[in-house]
Amino acid sequence: MNSDADWTAAARQFQQDLGANWTKALQSFVPAAGPGAAPLRFAPDKLQELRDAYLREAAQLWNQGLASNPAAGDRRFASDAWSANPVAAYSAALYLLNARALLGLAEAAEADEKTKARLRFAVEQWMAAAAPSNFMALNAEAQRKAVETRGESIARGVQNLLKDIQQGHVSMTDESVFDVGHNVATTEGAVVFENELFQLIEYKPLTAKVYERPFLLVPPCINKFYILDLQPENSLVRYLVEQGHRTFLVSWRNPDAAMAGVTWDDYVGDGALKAIEVVREIAAAPQINALGFCVGGTILGTALAVLAARGEQPVASATLLTAFLDFSETGVLDVFIDDAFVRFREMQLGQGGILKGQELASTFSFLRPNDLVWNYVVGNYLKGETPPPFDLLYWNSDSTNLPGPMYAWYLRNTYLENNLVKPGQCVVCGEKVDLRQVDIPVYIYGSREDHIVPIAGAYASTRHLPGRKRFVMGASGHIAGVINPPARKKRSYWTNEKLPKTHEEWLAGAKEHPGSWWPDWAAWLERHGGKQVAAPKRYGNARYKPIEAAPGRYVRARA
């Protein structure tokens, strides 16, 4: 191959082979669409641009040689151990080049938006799993540590792997440090009511007077409630109590075989509605204030619609934290949902059964695979490290099951068909759901980087609730954005007194404020608390006596 023509022909053939290999690779990511499905096609001009860019970057990478670490901008390869190992640095850079090419190819696919979203998700999962940092033979940092520790890091990694296999999940934190009720979920209180679905906790007042309207928190049933009560310094529950609110909380039971037939109606009727009833009776209050977090917000919103259909308004105001009512913009979770998937789940669990908590936990972890999966695989097993204690990650690992019928109803009527915002489409507890009848003040919070309830999805609730509304956006994600106590003076939040149709329009007119959104919410809630009365001296009342100390038995049950 001596002439320029020979080199040109070889380069052209390489381009053709490269394009064919990319196409085959991406085609393998496409979910099977059944016999006769059209093959995946790509825009020719975009495909040519990708080929040219790939060859150009590959040439630059080769010409750059093995003298530096071109992948140092990625934190997985930022250690000087990668820079000191030219072969490892080059493999990391080549991996990132291939990953960019596959992502570009996904964008070039001529397909509907949902198919393209699935392609992007599949490529991102491959990128995360195939990183050189995940393999001892390619991870220069893990190799260096093995040499420095004379193999002890490898031995510890094997021990960590065996321990995690035994417990059934990858350790994200040192779980031995935490004990529910001892150093997490420690706000003082008592269980004052329980049924087969939940325990109701009343918390001890920390002020001489409390607002006459008690406050009820409805957390998600997909996780344990104590995300709202981790440590005293970052406890939303304690913050409420310190603000003078007589505070109650629903602690959902971790479902077992005895709950295999529990439905969405049960969670609304025997859960949220029953909790509202008991809190009103204990406090002798005509109305209460209530909060729903994540799926708890969806349950609370449904319960309020049921009450409105009955002509009742026992809730004076509601707060929705990173919660869906309108499921038209669900973000990355939409890649999992289609009619075939929902029908399969209905066939599998709709008539009875339990969805295991570990399946849910794995799904949510793989929404951020580098941060919540492979980071710990590398640290725990390749480097033999024990992750440091972190209360939030301990909670994240404390998974909960779900009853099959409830889960199947939820999938179809929310993610698939978005029926809650279609007046009269859903019948819950014998009533037609119509959110337009929920005419009460509502405080709606969404997190800017939330990957579970995207900010546009949280904002969409403003379009369906007719009462006076306040929407606030906080920095960070689904959990860290919510659990942002004022004392830490971290992050920011945004407000806008106007509520235009879209979140983009809202954000264009929003004002940024430093620190936590909690004081803004506390000031809003104060206006709905009613007058102040003497704080109660004991838990419950003559009918509802204390059963056990908080946090109760239900929250301690493991999946």
Catalytic residues: 294
Peptide bond into 388 cis (omega under 30): no
Strands 215-218 and 288-293 come out as parallel
Strand order in the sheet with 189-194: 511-514, 492-495, 469-474, 442-447, 315-321, 288-293, 215-218, 247-252, 198-203, 189-194, 548-549
Nearest to 447 by CA among 320, 533, 314, 304: 320
3-state secondary structure 407-465: HHHHHHHHHHCCHHHCCCCCEECCEECCHHHCCCCEEEEEECCCCCCCHHHHHHHHHCC
As a residue count, the chain comes to: 559
Cα distance between residue 178 and residue 170, in whole Å:
16
d(CA 501, CA 302): 22
Q: Of the candidates 170, 136, 166, 138, which has an alpha carbon nearest to the alpha carbon of residue 153?
A: 136
Tell me the one-letter amino acid at 157.
G
CA distance 273 to 252: 14
Give the 3-state secondary structure of residue 382.
helix
Tell me what percent of the chain is helix, strand and coil, each rounded to the nearest 5.
50, 15, 40
Q: How many CB atoms lie within 10 A of CB 374?
A: 19
- The closest of 231, 131, 251 to 191, measured between CA atoms, is 251
Whose tokens are 């979770």? That residue is 333
- Which residues, including other chains, have CB under 8 Å from residue 343's CB and lie 6 or more apart? none
Of 470, 552, 431, which Cα lies nearest the Cα of 189? Answer: 552
- Which structure tokens are listed for 323? 């919660």
